[in-house]
């Protein structure tokens, strides 16, 4: 598992790709994929920034040939300040995704009983507009299967988080809340929180229980980005991408020329 994790990280670091993990290093299950993924934390000197959820829509699941969501780690070194510049490098996916992100207030450790949504939301400190810029270490991420995608950190790569939304966000129906994506100041897509497993709060609850099932703690201070509300926006060098979350705020990033 450690060798598989180290191999995937080396491709991430060097901006190279592999067809698939060698058979002797290949996870066979979701649980084994998370064991491989966990070794990414050996390559960061900073506390884990948080978690992402991939494939939170039927279209997203079909795109990568999985039958449900999967979780990945957000490394602090890969987080870009709101309004900052993101290197494109050898990014294969070349898309930006507009997402709701939650910062946690208290730990949510593993337990036998599932966490209910109200309990999960009671553990949230703040809500933020965010942009995820995913990527994969595989040449064709649609062919490797769920276990290897989990091992590959659920296609996590770069992440941008905007300022905290006003405190009254808890009274807003996030499922119905509109989100717009802009590419170079032109509207590039529109959507809502309903595109994220029906509601970003449902997605956050899924993540808390997914970690619990696999013996992991969702910790205070960590951020969870819940999946794209708008169809992914294709990006290129020099582009400026922004998300308009209405009264909940906005977030922006420029792709390095």
Q: pLDDT by residue (tens digit) across 208-242?
A: 999 999 999 999 999 999 999 999 999 999 999 99
Half-sphere exposure in the Cβ direction for 131 (13 Å, CA): 33
pLDDT of residue 102: 99
Q: What is the mean pLDDT of residues 152-175?
A: 98
Q: For the chain, how many structural domains are there in total?
A: 1
pLDDT of residue 10: 98
Residue 72 CA to residue 56 CA, distance in Å, equals 13
The domain that contains 158 carries what CATH number? Answer: 3.90.850.10
Q: What is the mean pLDDT of residues 2-12?
A: 98
Q: What is the mean pLDDT of the chain?
A: 97
pLDDT of residue 91: 97
Using an 8 Å Cβ cutoff, are 208 and 109 in contact?
no
Q: pLDDT by residue (tens digit) across 180-197?
A: 999 999 999 999 999 999
The full DSSP string for 192-204 is EGGGTTTSHHHHH
Q: pTM above the 0.85 mark?
A: yes
pLDDT band at 106 (very low <50, low <70, confident <90, very high): very high
Q: pLDDT by residue (tens digit) across 41-100?
A: 999 999 999 999 999 988 888 888 998 999 999 999 999 999 999 999 999 999 999 999
pLDDT of residue 57: 87
Residue 185 CA to residue 203 CA, distance in Å, equals 29
pLDDT of residue 59: 83
Residue 39 CA to residue 9 CA, distance in Å, equals 9
Question: What is the domain extent for residue 166?
Answer: 2-255
Residue 39, sorted as left (phi over 0), alpha (psi -120 to 50) or beta, turns out to be: alpha
pLDDT of residue 44: 95
- Percentage of the chain exceeding pLDDT 90: 96
pLDDT of residue 62: 87
Q: pLDDT by residue (tens digit) across 12-25?
A: 999 999 999 999 99
């Amino acid at each position: 598992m450690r060798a598989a994790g180290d191999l995937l990280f080396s491709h991430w670091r060097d901006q190279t790709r592999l067809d698939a993990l060698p058979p002797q290093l290949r996870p066979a299950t979701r649980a084994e994929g998370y064991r491989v993924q966990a070794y990414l934390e050996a390559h960061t000197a900073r506390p884990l920034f948080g978690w992402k959820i991939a494939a939170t829509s039927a279209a997203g699941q079909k795109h990568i040939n999985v039958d449900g969501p999967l979780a990945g780690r957000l490394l602090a070194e890969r987080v870009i300040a709101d309004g900052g510049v993101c290197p494109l490098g050898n990014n294969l996916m070349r898309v930006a995704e507009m997402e709701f992100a939650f910062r946690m207030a208290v730990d949510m450790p593993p337990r036998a009983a599932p966490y209910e949504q109200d309990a999960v939301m009671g553990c949230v400190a703040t809500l933020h507009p965010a942009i995820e810029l995913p990527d994969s270490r595989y040449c064709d991420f649609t062919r490797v299967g769920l276990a290897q995608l989990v091992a590959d950190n659920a296609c996590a790569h770069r992440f941008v988080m905007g300022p905290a939304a006003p405190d009254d966000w808890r009274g807003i129906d996030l499922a119905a809340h509109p989100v717009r994506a802009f590419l170079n100041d032109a509207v590039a897509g529109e959507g809502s929180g309903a595109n994220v497993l029906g509601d970003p709060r449902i997605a956050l609850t899924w993540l808390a229980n997914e970690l619990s099932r696999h013996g992991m703690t969702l910790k205070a201070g960590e951020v969870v980005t819940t999946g794209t509300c708008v169809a992914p926006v294709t990006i290129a060098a020099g582009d400026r991408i922004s998300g308009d979350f209405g009264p909940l705020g906005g977030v922006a990033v420029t792709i390095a020329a």
